[in-house]
A and B are shown apart, each in its own frame.
Chain A
Amino acid sequence: DTAVSQTPKYLVTQMGNDKSIKCEQNLGHDTMYWYKQDSKKFLKIMFSYNNKELIINETVPNRFSPKSPDKAHLNLHINSLELGDSAVYFCASSQRDRGLSGNTIYFGEGSWLTVV
């Protein structure tokens, strides 16, 4: 009954390769996100989709391309991987509630990407 699930959990790959990380949420949320957490644990938003529409696109190299086939899925494709892409990538989802919880974000377990 995992709420936000992403695969793979661990990925080791060589520079220059292309890789994808998949994400699915079963919470019925309208909004999904990709966050990047670096080695110092800083968490930065990369992309957000609401009902399959891109709504947040931070300053991210265009080697990173998100794809949302439906509102329960948001995949992240990375072309021409570089050493600096090594990080933990978190998928997340939320449902805006103009009541007391706002836009509470629920995270997946993370995908540890190591580029060698």
Chain B
Amino acid sequence: GEDVEQSLFLSVREGDSSVINCTYTDSSSTYLYWYKQEPGAGLQLLTYIFSNMDMKQDQRLTVLLNKKDKHLSLRIADTQTGDSAIYFCAFNTGGFKTIFGAGTRLFVKA
């Protein structure tokens, strides 16, 4: 069936890079997303990648997709305290149903 797995916690020091990993099971995943949820707020779309891409860069964010291993990662360069949040990966196979991972809680230490 469809499943998305993420590690639950990540702690980094301010200024370091953060790498949040995600694996998925559905090989027909076409669109893959990263969302950010700050405390008391909704999920905010950070970035997305199409399955025919290996990498996408947007300012401090780099998304890497390894289709063979069904592995998606989000790298945040120069992590700031304001980056502390829960990060969800999600995938969609082109239909209406998007499957979300359990979220990775990123803690940034000053």
Name A residues whose Cβ lies closer than 8 Å to a Cβ of B.
4, 31, 40-43, 45, 48, 50, 55-56, 90, 94, 96, 98, 100-110
What are 12 A-B pairs with beta-carbon distances under 8 A?
A41-B86, A41-B102, A48-B96, A55-B96, A94-B98, A102-B31, A102-B92, A105-B45, A107-B42, A107-B43, A108-B42, A110-B42
Are A42 and B45 in contact (CB-based, < 8 A)?
Answer: no
Are B96 and A50 in contact (CB-based, < 8 A)?
Answer: yes
Cβ-defined partner of B48 (8 Å) among A31, A90, A104: A104
Name B residues whose Cβ lies closer than 8 Å to a Cβ of A.
30-31, 33, 35, 37, 41-45, 48, 50, 86, 88, 90, 92, 94-98, 100, 102-103
Are A43 and B100 in contact (CB-based, < 8 A)?
Answer: yes
Are B30 and A102 in contact (CB-based, < 8 A)?
Answer: yes
Are B48 and A43 in contact (CB-based, < 8 A)?
Answer: no
Closest residue of A by beta carbon distance from B105? A41
A-B CB proximity, top 9 nearest: A102-B31, A107-B42, A107-B43, A43-B100, A109-B42, A100-B50, A41-B103, A102-B92, A103-B92
